[in-house]
Amino acid sequence: MERRSRETAALFRHLPLVAIGSDGRTTRLTPRRISRYPDGMPHRGPLLAALAGLLALAAAAIPAAAQPAACLAPAAIADADVTRNAEALADPVLCLSERFVADAGGPWHLVVVTNTETPGPLWAVPHDEEDEAFDAGVRAVRLYGGTMIAVENADARLVGGRDPNQHFALTAEAAAPCLATGGASPAYVGAFLADWDRRFPIVGLHANWDGYRDAGGLGDISVRRPDVKMIPFPSAAATGRLADEDTIVMLVSRTLPEENPAGRAAIDWFNERGVHVIYRHVTPQNNGCTLADYLTLNAVGPYVSIEVEHGDPDTADTLVDIVVEYLRRPDFPGML
């Protein structure tokens, strides 16, 4: 029996439920007695009240993070990204909420946008200075459903000097190899993934600066940059903005591409569609405690991310559409 229903059942057992009849006599309510009166229950009124009470108690057992928060109006959230997207975020199918989490590296302020009608991926936006990622996430959650989770940090990247996308470790041991982390942050990880519908993958949304440092550019993301962990697979078919070295889809796996037929096929699938790929080969030794590394090393779930150059929001939308096409493939491989 699933854990939550075990808890509810346990709650059920301990709760002395009584029904007070119209004649004032009390009747002890047990699961068996309730199941005996599916309809034509003699004490419908008090019985329903008792059940409502039970449901309220059961709801209380649901961890706070997973409870649907009250939906907020865009104006109620102090976040420039929300203000910039206020019109789109006013869409009635969307529910805005926010979470404050005290944990290592924090405190963390998370903004959550849920499509209340259409289930779908978790759209992850850990970097608050990447406006293109936030804007693409708002469009994606409206168009393709699911939930967007974004770190709010007054448009700055680092929270307390730490990268929010290098903080996915549940234990001190798991955090140990990750130099940039502020230690284990299970509450942060829990809150970040709380709304993830595990029937769907997680899609990371990112933007980066032109070129890469070693070649006189900025940042570290480029399909021109040779790297044994972030293995580049440029597409010969790429044109226009998709040909830009900073515009890529990132796949992640614990297996080297040459030993991973599904990984190889996924690289080819994107390259054939004119999309550059960076294949992140993660191991316990090179773990950076990123969301990608955490999900993959712990076999938690499938992850793919997009990167575009700062100032190129349209290409972020183009990559999101292509990634959704990839996720919707009947032979979608899941984790690579």
Residues that bind Zn ion (CB under 5 A): 127, 130, 206
| Least CB distance to Zn ion at residue 227 (A) | 17
Q: 3-state class of 99 per DSSP? A: strand
Of 55, 125, 128, the residue nearest 306 (C-alpha): 125
* 229 burial type by CB count under 10 A (0-12 exposed, 13-18 middle, 19+ buried): middle
The smaller minimum CB distance to Zn ion, of residues 134 and 144, is found at 134
As a whole number of Å, the end-to-end CA separation of the chain is 30
| Least CB distance to Zn ion at residue 205 (A) | 8
| 250 touches 244 (CB < 8 A) | no
Q: Which residues, listed in sequence order, are joined to residue 207 by a DSSP beta bridge? A: 308
The smaller minimum CB distance to Zn ion, of residues 46 and 288, is found at 288
Distances (CA, A) of 177 to 164, 165, 171, 231, 294: 16, 15, 11, 21, 12
Of 252, 272, 249, 248, the residue nearest 262 (C-alpha): 252
| Least CB distance to Zn ion at residue 132 (A) | 10
| Least CB distance to Zn ion at residue 266 (A) | 21
| Least CB distance to Zn ion at residue 248 (A) | 12
Q: 3-state class of 150 per DSSP? A: strand
| Least CB distance to Zn ion at residue 125 (A) | 8
Other C-beta atoms lying within 10 Å of the C-beta of residue 239: 8
The smaller minimum CB distance to Zn ion, of residues 46 and 126, is found at 126
The smaller minimum CB distance to Zn ion, of residues 130 and 195, is found at 130
The smaller minimum CB distance to Zn ion, of residues 43 and 127, is found at 127
The smaller minimum CB distance to Zn ion, of residues 103 and 163, is found at 163
